[in-house]
Amino acid sequence: MRRHLPAVLVAGWGVLNGLLLVVLAIYRENTMTYWLWGGVVLVLQLFALAVLVSSRARPDQHVRYRVPDRGAGGVLPGAVGLLLVGLCLVYGRWLLVVAVPLLMLSVALVVRGTTAREK
Amino acid sequence: MTLAPDTDAQRGDAGRPVTPGSWLGWVSTTDHKRIGLLTIGTSLVLLLVDGVFALLMRAQLAQPEETFLAAHLYNQLFTMHGSGMIYTVMTPFAIGLGVYLVPLQIGAPGIALPRLTLLGYWLYVLGALTMLAGFATPTGAHADGWFSYPPMADSVHSPGTGPDLWIVGVSLAVTGSILMGWAVLWTVLRRRTRGMTMLRLPVFCWSMIATCLMVIGSFPALLAAMVLLGVGRADPDVFASNVWNIGYQHIFWFYGHPVVYVMFFPYLAAVAEVLAVFSGRRFFGYRGTALSLLVFAALSMSVWGHHMFATGQAANDYYSLTSIALLVPAGVEYFGMLGTILGGRLRLRVPMLFALAFVPQFLIGGLTGIMVGTPVIDYHVTDSYFVVAHLHYVLFAGSAFGLFAAVHYWFPKVTGTLLDERMGRLHFWLLVVGTNLTFLPMFALGYLGMPRRVVTYATFDGFGLLNLLASIGAAFLAAGMTVFVVNVLWTLRRRHLGRAEPAGDDPWEGHTLEWATTSPPPRLNFPADRPLPPVTSFAPLLDRRTGGGTA
């Protein structure tokens, strides 16, 4: 139980949200709110499941860590690419001409794993 | 991939080395401390920008029938001030503090999902810039307030690209916050060091758990609201139906209330840590406070409709009930803070001053929140300056004081140098005077009937004196912030020149693990020659000093 406390915590918090949602239903609210909040409860339970799977696979507390640090050079081009995709909605799809190559470059950098490393 | 702390073996194909401090090292860093500092630094710069917007507004409102600002520009300023402070200052700072501190406090060498965290930072920066870019468009920036209700915010009533840029910017910024929130939550749940059980987590880590649960639960609703607003701007017929007008309000406030708690839980926890350290004793009521944070967070998901009392389209009884129920966990947290101070050996250094001021000032914000959470009072003061005063007592008199307590407290850990104490005290007193002089009169203004967001008022309204006092208070705030900026820059300059006195690794006699490592901490947080002390409770360093543990 203690080992799975993180998963129980997330699931329990989701259940508490579910209880509050049930009480709201007694007072009758816009149907949209049930879908909205119910969806959140579902997401929380899925997250709790992911934590549970992770805690079954690895120890709850660590002494050895994997610190991933490769491919971070692709992050900034990726973020700019996503910005340009968003701006397509304002200024037109022609921005995809720039956005798509940037996103491809970002993916390539992440996959190739090249990044700056501090001395 | 690096294994830590047992080995520093690195893959040979990991890329070319760069010198520490180079721009390439910063923009592509996976060090949680750097990402945290970038986030905190960016939000502090934006705090100054959005603060200037507020000063311009207070100049306009200082006298009745003032014409210093045109109405449309005034609308842009209050919109960018409000949305900027919420989406790009207080929320990212809170999460950025978690990005920096949580791995250190749980004894981990890094954050989980560091590249995703970095992506979150860049989306946040680009989102903030996109929002501000609206000022460069022919019709100006967005001007419909931070919640931008349709149909006023649709393309018929608010034409131009400024609102569209605002929607894109807000969406990017909040996506960035969500990504950083996921990473912090996964880190605290799954990256704890040996001995760091859940019930030995520092109070700050518990606050980040509650905060990030709310981020995961509520922030996607803002993305949904932005999509709805964007669709409605493309096709204004969407908002011809009241279903989507009220629907937008439900979706927006489902995000809009929990975000208030996202913007104060980390600051409240920073205050809790400061109170314990500067009282020289363990935080009182640890388990009750941890539990109350979780209950508080769950309740916060249930109160959104109190922002819609006056619409007549919400289940007011339910939202009033849950809003008032917030008093219970809030009371537990206050009990913990007061119990920590009482009987302690208080050291009134600058972080403690800010933390002590937080307690009564935030109480005013909280209690007036209960007032506006009651429909009969809300009907009278809704959309008035009373609400403006309430939210500023929560977010400035409360959260911002927690923010400055945190900055003064952790500055020596981050830089190895203490901020100047005299300038810190001047900053504190200017802010105390300025905060209360600015926001206290607003309660009276709202109660007397001054609506929020008006560009001016008539002389016969009788609002002149109270508005003048508020504007004088804003000048105090500007002076205080200037002193703060000078203090930070002057200290960093002295450090750069080697003239600053080293603060040492633990200048305050801290309780939590970040004070066990060097200042500033190395890349993997805990060097081999500084092994982690045994984690015997939520205050392991205090245990080491006193030779005991409780959990």
User: Using only C-alpha atoms, what is the Rg of chain B?
Assistant: 23
Q: What is the mean pLDDT of residues A8-18?
A: 97
pLDDT in tens, B256-314: 999 999 999 999 999 999 999 999 999 999 999 999 999 999 999 999 999 999 999 99
Are B4 and A65 within 8 A, CB to CB?
Answer: yes
- Residue B4 clears pLDDT 60, i.e. is over it: no
Asked if A65's CB is within 8 angstroms of B109's CB, the reply is: yes
Could you tell me the two tokens for B364?
């005013």
Is residue B14 domain-resident? no
How far is B459 from B435, CA to CA, in rounded Å? Answer: 25
Helix (H, G, I), strand (E, B) or coil at A64: coil
Rounded distance between C-alpha atoms, residue B527 and residue B546, angstroms: 24
pTM of the predicted structure, to 2 decimals? 0.94
Note the pLDDT of residue B9.
37
Per-residue pLDDT of B318-341, as tens digits, reads 999 999 999 999 999 999 999 999
Q: Is B82 helix (H, G, I), strand (E, B) or coil?
A: helix
Question: Are β-strands A117-118 and B17-18 bridged in parallel, bridged antiparallel, or unpaired?
Answer: parallel
Q: Does residue B15 lie within any of the structural domains?
A: no
CA distance B285 to B266: 17
- pLDDT band, residue B203 (cuts 50/70/90): very high
In the numeric block, which tokens belong to residue B455?
């560009």
Are B304 and B319 a contacting pair, CB within 8 Å?
yes
d(CA B328, CA B177): 29
Q: Per this entry, what is the length of chain A? A: 119
Higher pLDDT, A73 or B383: B383
CA distances from B130 to A89, B125, B213 (A): 13, 9, 27
In degrees and rounded to multiples of 5, residue B202 shows phi and psi of: -60, 160
Quick one: pLDDT at residue B6? 42
- Chain B residues within an 8 Å CB radius of A32: 247, 250-251
Best probe of the B interface among A8, A17, A37, A69, by most B CBs < 10 A, is A69
The verdict on residue B235 lying in a domain is: yes
Mean of pLDDT values over B184-202:
95
For position A115, what pLDDT does the model report? 53
Residue B544 CA to chain centroid, in angstroms?
A: 32
Classify residue B433: in a domain, yes or no.
yes
In a domain, B159, yes or no: yes
Q: 3-state DSSP call for residue B165?
A: helix
Strand residues in A50-110 grouped as ranges (E)? 65-67
Residue type, A41: V
Q: Is residue B16 part of a domain?
A: no
Query: With contacts defined as CB-CB under 8 Å, which chain B residues touch A30?
Result: 246-247, 250, 313-314
Q: Residue B528: exposed, middle, or buried by beta-carbon count in 10 A (0-12, 13-18, 19+)?
A: exposed
Do residue B17 and residue A117 have CB atoms under 8 angstroms apart?
yes
How do residues B437-491 score in pLDDT, each as one tens digit? Answer: 999 999 999 999 999 999 999 999 999 999 999 999 999 999 999 999 999 999 9
d(CA B62, CA B465): 8
Euclidean distance between CA atoms B132 and A109, whole angstroms: 30
The overall average pLDDT reported for chain B is 94
- Residue A113: what pLDDT? 67
- Cβ(B56)–Cβ(B73) under 8 Å? no
CB B50 within 8 A of CB B80: yes
Report if residue B375 sits inside a domain.
Answer: yes
Q: What is the pLDDT of residue B501?
A: 87
Task: With respect to residue B48, please indicate whether it lies within any of the assigned structural domains.
Answer: yes
Residue B350 token pair: 């600058």
The strand ranges marked E within chain A are 65-67, 117-118
Q: How far apart are CA B169 and CA B167, in angstroms?
A: 5
Amino acid A1: pLDDT: 65
Is residue B436 pLDDT above 90, yes or no?
yes
Measured between beta carbons, the chain B residues lying within 8 angstroms of A84 are none
CATH of the domain at B145: 1.20.210.10
Which of A44, A58, A83 faces B126 most closely, judged by CB atoms?
Answer: A83
Mean pLDDT of B504-516: 96
Tell me which residue has tokens 């100054």. B48
Distance between B475 CA and the closest CA of chain A, angstroms: 37
pLDDT of residue B549: 61
- Give per-residue pLDDT as tens, B83-98: 999 999 999 999 999 9
The residue among B416, B103, B90, B439 whose CA lies nearest residue B266 is: B90
CB contact under 8 A, B192 and A63: no
In whole angstroms, give the CA distance from residue A10 to residue A40: 12
- Residues in chain B with CB shorter than 8 Å from the CB of A62 are 108, 191-194
Higher pLDDT, B21 or B207: B207
| pLDDT at residue A117 tops 60 | no
- pLDDT band (50, 70, 90) for residue B37: very high
What single letter denotes the amino acid at residue B365? Answer: G
Q: What is the pLDDT of residue A114?
A: 53
Instruction: Give chain B's length.
Output: 551
Size of interface A-B (CB pairs under 8 A): 211
β-pairing, A65-67 vs B2-4, is antiparallel
The whole domain housing B50 covers 28-546
pLDDT at B19: 63
Cα distance between residue A44 and residue A52, in whole Å? 12
- The pLDDT score that the predictor gives to residue B531 is 83
Q: What pLDDT sits at residue B10?
A: 40
- List CB contacts of B222: < 8 A, sequence separation 6 or more: B170, B174, B252, B255, B256, B259
- Cβ neighbours of residue B284 closer than 8 Å, sequence gap 6 or more: B335, B336, B337, B339, B340
Confidence check: pLDDT of B431 > 70: yes
**Average pLDDT of chain A?**
90
Average pLDDT rounded to a whole number, residues A97-112: 92
Tally of domains within chain B: 1
Identify from B226, B293, B294, B318 which residue to disrupt to test chain A contact, counting A C-beta atoms within 10 A and taking the largest count: B318
Alpha carbon distance, N-terminus to C-terminus of chain B: 35
The per-residue pLDDT for A118 is 46
* Predicted ipTM of the assembly: 0.94
Residue B550, pLDDT score: 53
Asked if B32 and A87 touch (Cβ cutoff 8 Å), the reply is no
Q: What is the Cα–Cα distance from B261 to B362, expressed in whole angstroms?
A: 12
B409 has pLDDT over 80? yes
Residue with tokens 């503090």: B97
Q: What are phi and psi of B135, to 5 degrees?
A: -60, -25
